Amino acid sequence: MYCGSRESNNPRFPELAQQAGREIARRNWGVVYGGGKVGMMGKLADAALESWR
């Protein structure tokens, strides 16, 4: 998965990133990423982690 490390100007994109993260977790897939906990990638990764707990 690749997402930008910045926040989006479009308010819908953060929610879409979180939905993708939750869906990844629901399917029991892993997320591999090299960025920090920032931007869209951070939102996706955080949502996936929260869904696995």
Q: What is the pLDDT of residues 5-21, one digit of tens each?
A: 788 889 899 999 999 99
- Residue 43 contacts residue 7 (beta carbons within 8 Å): no
- Is residue 51 over pLDDT 70? yes
- Higher pLDDT pick, 9 / 24: 24
Give Cα separations from 46 to 7, 14 (angstroms).
14, 11
- Higher pLDDT pick, 4 / 50: 50
Q: What pTM does this model have?
A: 0.82
Give Cα separations from 24 to 35, 38, 42 (angstroms).
18, 19, 14
